[in-house]
Amino acid sequence: SQKIEQNSEALNIQEGKTATLTCNYTNYSPAYLQWYRQDPGRGPVFLLLIRENEKEKRKERLKVTFDTTLKQSLFHITASQPADSATYLCALDATGGFKTIFGAGTRLFVKA
Amino acid sequence: GAGVSQSPSNKVTEKGKDVELRCDPISGHTALYWYRQSLGQGLEFLIYFQGNSAPDKSGLPSDRFSAERTGGSVSTLTIQRTQQEDSAVYLCASSFGSSTGGYGYTFGSGTRLTVV
């Protein structure tokens, strides 16, 4: 069955460093991959979408890569700030399907 | 409206009662989705609407769960004879097109349902 794996351990980094989060998937041929941010008690907020024919996408301090051979996406936050502390969710749209499947998320803590 | 609105924000109900959760999507968004999120878990897909029709109901856990959407806008998720395992945060999202159109979702803040 289709599966998305994100590191369940929290990631702790120092302010100013680059945070890198990983999303791996199996039994899947996604057309799109999305990253969301979720704060406690709130719904996820859409950050970036990358298509299967794109290798990399950037938005301000965010960068996403998509390797369909490795079945992996990396999400980078450069010059991280304490305000970046949140849970980050990876999500995949199945080709020809209607729904988006979400990973369980990775909690990021950025220390001042 | 400016965002996706869900009500109530919190609901505590007794086991066996029926509950209705409401979602008001962003005006003009044709696609609407219901997900639920249990503590520390990922989002579990429930149902997808395109306009008023539901092409994908595959995520509804049992026949106690139903959803409708009227006028291509407001949606209601109904859970009959609630059970304790139904306790979760129920999230609604809308988007301009279907998920395969490559549009990100806009989520509401969710309804936290607690069945006691």
Q: List, as one string, the DSSP characters of B31-81.
A: EEEEEEE-TT--EEEEEEEETTEEEE-TT--STTEEEEE-TTS-EEEEE-S
pLDDT under 70 in chain B at which residues? 1, 98-102
| CA A89/CA A93 separation, integer angstroms | 13
A46 close to B43: Cβ distance less than 8 angstroms: no
Interchain contact B113–A (C-beta under 8 A):
no
- pLDDT class of A96 with cuts at 50, 70, 90: low
Q: Which residues pair with B31 in a beta bridge?
A: B50, B95
Token look-up 């945070």 returns: A19
- The pLDDT of residue B14 is 97
- pLDDT tens for A53-74 read 898 999 999 999 999 999 999 9
Token look-up 């306009």 returns: B51
Q: Does the beta-carbon distance from B102 to A93 stay under 8 Å?
A: yes
- pLDDT tens for A15-46 read 999 999 999 998 878 888 999 999 998 999 99
- The pLDDT of residue B99 is 55
Phi, psi angles (nearest 5°) of residue B33: -130, 145
Look at phi and psi of residue B5 and say left if phi exceeds 0, alpha if psi is from -120 to 50, else beta: beta
| CA B72/CA B114 separation, integer angstroms | 29
| CA B75/CA A28 separation, integer angstroms | 30
- The pLDDT of residue A99 is 78
User: Which residue of chain B has the CA closest to A31?
Assistant: B100
- The pLDDT of residue B1 is 54
Interchain contact A40–B (C-beta under 8 A):
no
User: Which residue of chain A has the CA closest to B33?
Assistant: A99
Of A4, A32, A43, the CB nearest to B102: A32
Of A89, A99, A103, the CB nearest to B48: A99
Q: Using an 8 Å CB-CB cutoff, list chain B residues near A36.
A: 104-105
